[in-house]
Structure 1
Amino acid sequence: HDNLALAVISQYSIAKAVPLDQSISMIEVSKKTGLSEHLTRSILRHAVATGIFHEPVPNHIAHNGLSKLLLEPKMAGWVHHTTNDVVPAASMVIESWRRFPDSNEPNETGFSLAGGQGKTLFEYLAENAEARDRFSLAMAGLTASGGYDANDLVHGYPWTNITSGATIVDVGGSDGTMACALASQYSGFRLIVQDLEGVAAHGKEALLPSLRDRVQFQAHDFFHPQPVEADVYIIRHVLHNWSDKYSVQILRHIVAAMKPTSRIIVNDAVMVEPQETSAEQYWNMSAMNLQMITLLNAKERTLHDWTELFAKADPRLKIATVHKPTGSEMSIIEVVLMD
């Protein structure tokens, strides 16, 4: 019911109906949002009980620190995506397990049964502009919340060990946030951002003129053969979206293009045992793991899982180093070819 309250607050833009610097009667909120007075009071009082908003005098509501977060577009996008897409999908996860036992397929999920119309999350987003906008804002909100900053990889890996002039490919690099951050810090690399055609075209248009001499965008589907023989392949926040079946395919295409001296830098979560971290950190990892299961039939991986995945893709793929930057939710896994 906490999720129901959040969904109503999100759908009816209740946070926007409450003034920033003073309280407002619940009746006025009802009039502004079009939600009945009874339901407005029921939802708001439950929200107050969970720490969102506060009721300074009976039947009046005011913002507090948590409710003000809902006015920030990125956080509002995260809540909107969670309540519209994730919560309904979670309610169908058990049914998806019954219908598709031990499935690796991204279109046999709680999401595909709940609202995805039998499609994968990414297929659904490609066809649904409203859901795509929600998802984009949600991802921006996740990044803004801390722990997923591209600069953690820029400053957390010894890039000075990579030869100047090296070619670095950001596989599934989206809008180029990672590559641009790296190019801004190190001017000696040639960076190629690969993603699907529409994404790559948008990234190219938005690229700062000052970076165009060393960052380029290339339309590429990572389920097809890798066209670039690079020194470094970055796979950032990608493999956790895919089950082992599909992650192996992505990795094999990269391995086929690698030189003996090439390396893969995976920037993704490494699950640990509950006793190895704080309760809050473990909750964050566990919640993301369940999110991947719900939406994509994917998962967050332990170090053992990562080791097995690389070996499954190619027995020569070995983990050379693992490092988790302070404050980051993601680790930096350096993978090399060893005969």
Structure 2
Amino acid sequence: MSSLKRITDLSDKISKNSKILTDYLSSKGLEAAAFDVDGLDEFPISPADEEPYKARLNIIAATKELHDISLGPKESLRYLAWDSVNQLSLQAVYEFKVAEAVPLSGSISYQDLADKVNVPMLNLRRLIRHAMTNHIFHEPEKGFVAHTRTSRLLLEDLPLTNWVGFMTEDLWLPIANVVKAMKKWPGSGESNETSVNLAYGTSANWFDFIQQNKAFANRYNLAMQAHGGGEGFALTHTVDGYPWAELGEATVVDMGGNQGYVSMAIAEKFPKLKFVVQDTAGMRTPSTIGKVPEHLADRVFLTTHDFFTPQTVDAQVYFFRWIFHGFSEKYCVKILQALTPALKKGARIVINDGTLPEPGTAGYVEEKSMRTMDLFMQVTVNAREREIDDWAELFKQADERYRFLKAWKPEKSRMWFIEAEWTG
């Protein structure tokens, strides 16, 4: 009978949270996200709207569980095994630029659409009709295709479109080769012994490989913009989530800080801090280096440094944002060891990165997102996301003089802060 009660409990939870959500939207005169071509593509609720924000997450988790219970374990497993076909229809829509060929208003016949994208009509029609099961396009009348809000995004949102291309074109083959790579290179932490190397027949590591093709590199960069704009990854969490003001007039070395946009954002809010932004020459181009705004030019400096080589800048804080999850333990230890020549007693290492929650301690959306990210790091670079204990162990492996302090997640953020001190 407990299984019957679970269905009722989930239904009640969905009903209760749906009311919270709709009452909030109604009180603000807002509409919900919708698949209508002119509808909203995101829910107009920010993490600051705590009650409706949590209600929305509760609905997502409860509807997923109720869906799976209603299917049953056997059907759920069967459906899961063939979910890759979702990638197939989405890849076809992306590759053949179907969104560009469908008029934004009105509709187009399958035959006319097939002629425009140069794909046989019957093959195109079955792919699009499958995509429609995921709310990508719709068929307003038999034989005609029209946009939904989802397909319209493929037409108008360039970073998101490149995210789709990156996942369905560039990573599809590597994902299919992960298990083969695990068998070929058991336990490898090398970034050129991955499924990417098997899939594309290359000996280059991931970042060198994508730079070999300008179109690929551009797609990756735009895709990362889409990822960075996802829920919980906003730069405001980095600016507001750490007690920067308590550092006083400290110097912060932003390791692997690219063009310094993170340091600039922090410097805008905390005028006593100075930032030395370090990255390799390959991450700096003549068209981008030196773009620090004039009013920050005396506090934010773009410099060249490889964080695998000994550090020379004396600072109070060494800051790493979204760096360590891109490397295996072996190389993360090397990064921390390369800092030690410059460290003075009391210097802080501040890491802003992903951290895996203990199973069952986070909401469904957060846990699914972080565990998916964990697998993608294996696909591309043989790296991984870490739990809190893993972070503590990493500092210990690097040098016993590091003292792990704490790890915390700012409210509504998907990224954590991890902090350690050099005891000298």
Which residue in the other structure is 1:3 paired with?
87
Within 1, Cα distance between the matches of 2:278 and 2:226?
A: 23
Within 2, Cα distance between the matches of 1:313 and 1:63?
A: 54
Q: 2:133 aligns with which of 38, 49, 66?
A: 49
Q: Which runs of 5+ in 2 are unaligned?
A: 1-84
SS for the counterpart of 2:289 is helix
When residues 220 and 129 of structure 1 are mapped into structure 2, their CA distance, relative to the original with a 3 A threshold, is same
Within 1, Cα distance between the matches of 2:266 and 2:115?
A: 50
RMSD across aligned C-alpha pairs, in angstroms? Answer: 1.5
Residues paired across the two proteins, number: 338
Within 2, Cα distance between the matches of 1:275 and 1:155?
A: 27
When residues 283 and 232 of structure 1 are mapped into structure 2, their CA distance, relative to the original with a 3 A threshold, is same
Q: Does 1:66 align with 2:153?
A: no
Shift of 1:116: 5.9
Which residue in the other structure is 1:27 paired with?
111
Shift of 1:314: 1.3
Q: Does the 8 Å CA contact 1:176/1:203 hold for their aligned counterparts?
A: no
Shift of 1:42: 1.4
Within 2, Cα distance between the matches of 1:203 and 1:308?
A: 37
SS for the counterpart of 1:70 is helix
Which residue in the other structure is 2:202 paired with?
117
* Stretch of structure 1 that moved more, 80-89 or 60-69: 60-69
Q: Does the 8 Å CA contact 1:194/1:200 hold for their aligned counterparts?
A: no
When residues 43 and 196 of structure 1 are mapped into structure 2, their CA distance, relative to the original with a 3 A threshold, is same
* Residue pairs, 1:315-330, within 5 angstroms: 315-330=400-415
SS for the counterpart of 1:276 is coil
Q: Does 1:288 align with 2:288?
A: no
State which structure, 1 or 2, has the greater radius of gyration over its C-alpha atoms. 2
Q: 1:211 aligns with which of 247, 271, 296?
A: 296
Within 2, Cα distance between the matches of 1:317 and 1:51?
A: 51
Instruction: Report the TM-score when normalising by structure 1.
Output: 0.95
Q: Which has the higher contact order (CA 8 A, sep 6+)?
A: 1
Which residue in the other structure is 1:12 paired with?
96
When residues 203 and 195 of structure 1 are mapped into structure 2, their CA distance, relative to the original with a 3 A threshold, is farther
SS for the counterpart of 1:321 is strand
Matched residue type, 2:348: R
Within 2, Cα distance between the matches of 1:38 and 1:86?
A: 27
Q: 1:197 aligns with which of 247, 256, 281?
A: 281
Matched residue type, 2:358: E
Which residue in the other structure is 1:82 paired with?
167
* Residue pairs, 1:227-266, within 5 angstroms: 227-266=312-351
Within 1, Cα distance between the matches of 2:255 and 2:383?
A: 18
SS for the counterpart of 2:106 is coil
Matched residue type, 2:303: Q
Q: 2:251 aligns with which of 160, 167, 177?
A: 167
State the identity as a percent: 35
Within 2, Cα distance between the matches of 1:116 and 1:307?
A: 36
**Residues 239-292 of structure 1: CA distance to partner in whole angstroms, max 9, x if unpaired?**
000000001101111233211121011001110123101112111011100000
**Residues 218-249 of structure 1: CA distance to partner in whole angstroms, max 9, x if unpaired?**
11111111121111111110100000000110
Within 2, Cα distance between the matches of 1:41 and 1:15?
A: 14
Instruction: Report the TM-score when normalising by structure 2.
Output: 0.77
* Stretch of structure 1 that moved more, 27-36 or 267-276: 27-36
Q: Which runs of 4+ in 1 moved over 6 A?
A: none
When residues 59 and 208 of structure 1 are mapped into structure 2, their CA distance, relative to the original with a 3 A threshold, is farther
Within 1, Cα distance between the matches of 2:380 and 2:201?
A: 9
Within 2, Cα distance between the matches of 1:39 and 1:207?
A: 51
SS for the counterpart of 1:218 is strand
Q: Does the 8 Å CA contact 1:150/1:178 hold for their aligned counterparts?
A: yes
Q: Does the 8 Å CA contact 1:204/1:216 hold for their aligned counterparts?
A: no
Within 2, Cα distance between the matches of 1:161 and 1:116?
A: 50
Shift of 1:146: 2.7
* Stretch of structure 1 that moved more, 169-178 or 27-36: 27-36
Shift of 1:203: 4.1
Which residue in the other structure is 1:307 paired with?
392
Q: Which runs of 5+ in 1 are unaligned?
A: none
* Stretch of structure 1 that moved more, 174-183 or 317-326: 317-326
Shift of 1:38: 1.5
